[in-house]
Amino acid sequence: MSQIELIDKTKVPQHIAIIMDGNGRWAKQQGENRIYGHYEGVNSVRDVVEGAGQAGVKFITLYAFSTENWNRPKEEVDALMELLVATISMETPQLNKKNVRLQAIGNLNSLPPACLAELNESIDLTANNTGLTLVLALSYSSKWEIISAIKQIANDVKDGKISPDEISEKNIQQYLCTKHIPDPELMIRTSGEHRISNFLLWQLAYAEFYFTDKLWPDFRKADLFEAILNYQNRERRFGKTSEQLTNP
């Protein structure tokens, strides 16, 4: 029986978040520069998105570029932006063919104009698709997101739209980039690193974490299926005891 056949479709995580780590190290192992690893990583994105759709996942968020990544060497940043534009342009017809909707979160206005224009065009062209939603986290960091939310809440309090006593977990969620997206139930990080690197800090509060030593360019849909199977063998208690789950 194949891995996809072993997956219980009634227990598939609705939303999977992925930190795609290891492109640079993978390229170094091949004797190439870091950019080569990013180009190869696109193949993993394509395969994993296809696998997520086959498994019945509804949302997949990829940590594509963090606010901290702007501090990398200029030639690498420029190459990444060029790759992003080219990839989005090239992949949009396939997204439509596979009924995948594209969305993006992050400080998108900080992206180069050509990159932002291509991104917005692809978002518009896939807006009516009803299958998997692919969310790209671009120029994103959770601290940036939370600070932005706090500023918006402070302005709304100042303008009398909300009182401090009305601030709750539920309405804070409405000020986040992901207000229209369910919180991830599973977070995957490749490359053997065991940290979340300023990614969806609020949203990952009760997510299951899955770490693999595989570098991102080597990660494929079979690895995604393995992560989902691992997730399905875990007990998610949300603060309750095992006994409460078995004897509600």
CB 207 within 8 A of CB 185: yes
For residue 21, indicate whether it is catalytic: yes
The DSSP string of the chain is: --HHHHS-GGG--SEEEEE---HHHHHHHTT--HHHHHHHHHHHHHHHHHHHHHHT-SEEEEEEEEGGGGGS-HHHHHHHHHHHHHHHHHHHHHHHHTTPEEEEES-GGGS-HHHHHHHHHHHHHTTT--SPEEEEEEEE-HHHHHHHHHHHHHHHHHTTSS-GGG--HHHHHTTSTTTTSPPPSEEEE-TT----TTSSTTTTTTPEEEE-SS-GGG--HHHHHHHHHHHHTS---TT--HHHHH--
- Which is nearest to 123 in space by CA: 133, 131, 109? 133
In what side-by-side order are the strands of the sheet with 133-140? 101-105, 133-140, 59-66, 15-19, 186-189, 208-211
- In 10 A of CB 170, how many CB atoms? 8
Q: Which of 33, 43, 47, 69 is the catalytic position? A: 69
Q: Which of 21, 23, 183, 223 is the catalytic position? A: 21
Catalytic residue IDs: 21, 69
